[in-house]
Amino acid sequence: MDLVFTERQRAFRAEVRDWLAAHVPPEPLPSMDTETGFERHREWERTLAGARLSAVSWPREHGGRDADLIDWLIFEEEYWSHGAPGRVSQNGVFLLGPTLMAHGTEEQKRRLLPRMARADDIWAQAWSEPEAGSDLAALRATATPDGDGWRLTGQKTWSSRAAHADWCFGLFRSDPGARRHRGLTYFLVPLTADGVTVRPIAQLDGEHGFADIFFDDVYAPAGQVLGEPGAGWRVAMATAGSERGITLRSPGRFMATSDRLLALARESDDQTLRDAAVRAWADADAYRLYAFHAAARAAGGAEPGPEASLTKVFWSELDLRMHEVALELLGPRVTAQWLDGFLFALAGPIYAGTNEIQRNIIAERVLGLPR
């Protein structure tokens, strides 16, 4: 059992820290859910990419640094503690990227990954449909063979970043005879393709971060299928695993929030809230230790599995609790940063599979309770 960073890890941290100190914008960028803000965030991603810091855990050949999980955790700790901008490219870099590397063809990787790392393409997820949210396997959008390619028809909804993104990825029903999880195919679709209509949806925070995506007989060549036709569910679960595990929402993000929360608590004489802040800090710290432990297990060859659901419930509920405590500590002095953070945290227990779905997965696939 060893909890000491190596010389190399410390050097990497120092490099990231120095770079961030010199480059993080002094003022927060406008919301990425506005047109201007989206492009400002895209510019920031390009700045990161210029230092090979936009996708550190990717292989070098695709624009990354071959960082292992510990390096990635270090990067994230520094990133969020410096108050760097939210990652407009996260759907691509953290979710689709690893899935592409595992299931994509060499041609797809060469074509798509470098553009993703430079934020030339920013990706949106197209999972949910009006009648298929938590029950994703109830999805109805179809893919019909057409020559060497496919024709896509249907509606995806609540698609984060879609209002301004360049591409989307999602599941379509390619075998009308198959039911539920079978006969689904994973597609990569440019949002500029003929027949695609994006309708931004106003969110409760007043922004238009997510959108409906309508597909009206959209042509998708064979090169836009990820994995084997019909094997879409399995490919999608790889993406979902990334989304729920430590790679989308790393401990660093919550450590930074918990440090800011502790600073608020020091100024307060409300013992209940002080204790709540201390507890939240300890929980963020626990998530960090869990991640280090998971990294050691992964280095030992353990495959990430349904345990990702444990993580997702933990960080999403911690994030919300921290913001609730902060709002109480601040009262009328609440700042835009905490308020925006609170609204964003409210979405945590819903996106990436609601926490109810995660608890079902934990119960059935980790604990072995009957379906």
Residue 127 CB, nearest approach to another protein (Å): 22
Cβ-Cβ contacts under 8 Å for 251 (sequence gap 6 or more): 73, 76, 77, 284, 287, 288, 290, 291, 315
Q: Does 285 bind another protein (CB under 8 A)?
A: yes
Q: Does 336 bind another protein (CB under 8 A)?
A: no
* Burial grade of 223 (CB within 10 A; 0-12, 13-18, 19 or more): middle
Q: Does 274 bind another protein (CB under 8 A)?
A: yes
**Residue 137 in contact with residue 128, Cβ under 8 Å?**
no
Residue 291: CB atoms within 10 A of its CB come to: 23
Tokens 């004489």 -> residue: 269
Q: Does 364 bind another protein (CB under 8 A)?
A: yes
**Residue 270 in contact with residue 206, Cβ under 8 Å?**
no
Query: How far is it, in rounded angstroms, from Cα 264 to Cα 266?
Result: 5
Q: Please identify, using beta-carbon distances, which residue of 41 and 288 lies nearer to another protein.
A: 288
Contact segment (CB under 8 A) with another protein among 197-205, 222-230, 241-249, 360-368 equals 360-368
Residue 302 CB, nearest approach to another protein (Å): 10
Query: How far is it, in rounded angstroms, from Cα 138 to Cα 118?
Result: 35
Q: Please identify, using beta-carbon distances, which residue of 3 and 336 lies nearer to another protein.
A: 3
Among 283, 359, 291, 371, residue whose Cα is nearest residue 322: 283
Active site residue 43: no
Residue 367 CB, nearest approach to another protein (Å): 5
Out of 77, 78, 129, 243, pick the active-site residue: 243
The dihedral through the CA atoms of 104, 108, 113, 119 has a sign that is negative
Contact segment (CB under 8 A) with another protein among 129-137, 145-153, 162-170, 285-293 equals 285-293
Task: Considering only residues 131 through 190, tell me which ones interact with another protein, judged by CB under 8 A.
Answer: none
Task: Considering only residues 180 through 239, tell me which ones interact with another protein, judged by CB under 8 A.
Answer: none
Contacts to another protein by CB under 8 A: 1-6, 9, 70, 255, 259, 262, 265-266, 274-275, 277-278, 281-283, 285-290, 292-293, 295-297, 299-300, 307, 310, 313-314, 356, 358-360, 362-364, 366-371
